[in-house]
């Protein structure tokens, strides 16, 4: 009996990769099909919001490519997700980007890193927040420059009169 156990142990030790291979292959197929199902769900039930990056981790031996962790809210509930992006594209923690997700299952989501946004709070007369909008980060700078130019033009027109 003891000899059989030792022989089984030696066999497993020598051929463990053959025993584990089917499990690894099945795992890859399940991950692939789950990813495809998630993509189709997002495509069929598409909703868009904005999310904020709160953390990241490097992808093995790729210093520029990172997995970014983000959060967003939908119907008052907080959801999280991860998407892959590049530091060289200016993606960083604290950045706000669009998030595409399934309105049927918001756990199916992905962040789009093409344009960074900035949160803009809208206040009422009493100083209470009434709404939140998001503007293209570059657009905010353009709007500020436009305001400065308009103020300058107003001053120069007053001087002429």
Contact 106, 86 (CB under 8 A): no
Neighbour tally for 147: CB within 10 Å: 10
Question: What was the pLDDT predicted at 75?
Answer: 92
Are 66 and 134 within one domain? Answer: yes
CA nearest neighbour of 78 among 104, 106, 55: 106
pLDDT of residue 129: 82
Is residue 35 located within the same domain as residue 98?
Answer: no
CA dihedral 78, 68, 52, 36 (to 10 degrees): -60
Helix (H, G, I), strand (E, B) or coil at 23: helix
Res. 160: pLDDT tops 70: no
Tokens 């499990």 label which residue? 23
Question: H or E segment at 40?
Answer: helix 16-44
- For residue 149, the model assigns a pLDDT of 77
122 and 82 part of one domain = yes
Side by side, the strands of the sheet bearing 109-123 are 77-86, 62-74, 46-59, 96-102, 109-123, 129-136
For residue 88, the enclosing domain spans: 45-160
Give tens-digit pLDDT for 84-131.
888 778 888 899 999 999 999 999 999 999 889 988 888 888 888 888
Q: What is the pLDDT of residue 158?
A: 62
Say if residue 14 is in the same domain as residue 51. no
Regarding predicted confidence, which is higher, 41 or 6?
41
Label residue 39 by pLDDT band (50, 70, 90).
confident
Domain count of the fold of the chain: 2
Of the candidates 102, 62, 105, the one whose C-alpha atom is nearest the C-alpha of residue 85 is 62
């Amino acid at each position: 009996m003891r000899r059989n156990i030792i022989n089984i142990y030696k066999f497993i030790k020598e051929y463990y990769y053959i025993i584990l291979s089917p499990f690894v292959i099945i795992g890859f197929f399940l991950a692939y099909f789950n990813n495809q199902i998630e993509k189709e769900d997002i495509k069929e039930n598409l909703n868009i919001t904005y999310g904020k990056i709160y953390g990241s981790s490097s992808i093995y031996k790729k210093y520029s490519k990172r997995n970014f962790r983000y959060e967003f809210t939908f119907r008052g509930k907080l959801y999280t997700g991860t998407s892959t992006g590049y530091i060289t594209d200016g993606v960083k923690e604290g950045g706000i980007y669009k998030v595409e997700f399934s309105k049927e299952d918001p756990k199916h989501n992905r962040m789009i890193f093409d344009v960074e946004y900035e949160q803009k709070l809208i206040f009422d007369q009493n100083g209470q927040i009434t709404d939140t909008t998001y503007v293209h980060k570059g657009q905010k700078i353009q709007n500020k420059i436009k305001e400065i130019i308009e103020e300058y033009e107003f001053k120069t027109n007053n001087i002429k009169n």
